[in-house]
Amino acid sequence: MRAGERRWGGWRQPVAIAVAVAFLLPLWFMLSGSLREPGEAPPRAPELIPRPLSTTSYDRAFDLVDLARHTVNSLIVAALTVPLAVLVASMAGFALLLLAGRACAILVGLSFAALMIPVTALLVPRFAMFRWLGLTDTWAPLVAPALLGLSPFYVLLFYWSFRRLPPELLEAARLEGMSPFSMWRRVGMPLVRPVTIAVALLAFIASWGNFLEPLIYLFDPDLYTLPLGLRSLETLDRTNYPVLLAGAVVATAPVVLAFAIAQRYFLHEDRGAGWLGR
């Protein structure tokens, strides 16, 4: 072990614990708060375990707002958005790799520029466009950005990952007569699996937590996604914070679950994918 590693090794655990506590505490208070009786005033001091423990707030949350439907809606939107975003972003990233040279540099530059544009700056023109297309009050405006890879960041992430592959692998594939699509499917994608999972997770979080776009595009409550359902909950019973927190737990749980499932893939040392033939 080198000296630097040894020094860092001693500090690593306490630092990791401190970071974990800082991130877990809010989640814990959200969970413990949701297990209080509905209508109770907030405790004066932080309360790790409420007494008495009650799940009534969850019943109330589902009674007040159709959270089940909103959850299903969010799942449908995410199920359409995530695979589409991964597909388009990975294909675009691979296309950039094959393009190489000046054209690639220009497109990477443009992707960076697009990354700098705040989403809010595009809200009005986007809304006008979707209204002109007659697609407001449908899920189409929520899914449509996935046709562009959802974010230039995801495209660039794939591009950088593909660039790390030894060029000889793709050259060997070219010599065997593979088409660019075939190279993407049979050589590129299997070798960037951790990145694919990371992008899928990020796209899921983005879709799941998307509040602003459903707010401006959706009018029919039956089409509402979960963030809009939470807002309705807040509007209907603003001071009943155990019920609000119960809704928040329902909204957060799938993301935590998705991360728990995904992390074993990108934290696991997959030597097959990591070894790149050198």
Are 175 and 256 spatial neighbours (Cβ–Cβ below 8 Å)?
no
CB of 97 to another protein, least distance (A): 15
Choose between 169 and 216: whose C-beta lies nearer to another protein.
Answer: 169
Choose between 59 and 168: whose C-beta lies nearer to another protein.
Answer: 168
Please identify, among the stretches 13-21, 124-132, 156-164, 165-173, the one whose residues bind another protein according to the rule CB under 8 A: 165-173
Other C-beta atoms closer than 10 Å to the C-beta of 156 total 21
Are 158 and 92 spatial neighbours (Cβ–Cβ below 8 Å)?
yes
Please identify, among the stretches 30-38, 176-184, 208-216, 231-239, the one whose residues bind another protein according to the rule CB under 8 A: 176-184
Q: How many residues does the chain have?
A: 278
CA dist., res. 162 & res. 169, Å (int): 11
Choose between 19 and 276: whose C-beta lies nearer to another protein.
Answer: 276
Residue 226 to residues 127, 143, 215: CA-CA distances in angstroms? 21, 15, 11
Please identify, among the stretches 23-31, 118-126, 174-182, 242-250, the one whose residues bind another protein according to the rule CB under 8 A: 174-182
Task: Classify residue 241 by burial, with Cβ atoms within 10 Å: 0-12, 13-18, 19+.
Answer: buried
Choose between 192 and 199: whose C-beta lies nearer to another protein.
Answer: 192
Choose between 42 and 166: whose C-beta lies nearer to another protein.
Answer: 166
Task: Classify residue 69 by burial, with Cβ atoms within 10 Å: 0-12, 13-18, 19+.
Answer: middle
Choose between 238 and 271: whose C-beta lies nearer to another protein.
Answer: 271
Question: Pick from 88, 155, 191, 245: which binds another protein (CB under 8 A)?
Answer: 191
Task: Check residue 163 for interaction with another protein (CB under 8 A).
Answer: no
Task: Check residue 198 for interaction with another protein (CB under 8 A).
Answer: no
CB of 276 to another protein, least distance (A): 6
Task: Check residue 129 for interaction with another protein (CB under 8 A).
Answer: no
Please identify, among the stretches 11-19, 30-38, 128-136, 172-180, the one whose residues bind another protein according to the rule CB under 8 A: 172-180
- For 242, residues 6+ apart whose C-beta sits below 8 A from its C-beta are 33, 34, 35, 36, 37, 38, 39, 40, 57
| Helix, coil or strand: residue 16 | helix
Choose between 45 and 175: whose C-beta lies nearer to another protein.
Answer: 175
- For 57, residues 6+ apart whose C-beta sits below 8 A from its C-beta are 34, 35, 36, 37, 38, 240, 242, 243, 245, 246
Task: Check residue 268 for interaction with another protein (CB under 8 A).
Answer: no
Task: Check residue 176 for interaction with another protein (CB under 8 A).
Answer: yes
CA dist., res. 83 & res. 203, Å (int): 9
The amino acid at 102: R
Task: Check residue 238 for interaction with another protein (CB under 8 A).
Answer: no
Question: Pick from 172, 256, 257, 261: which binds another protein (CB under 8 A)?
Answer: 172
Where on the chain is the footprint of another protein (CB under 8 A)? 166, 168-169, 171-178, 182, 187, 190-191, 271-278
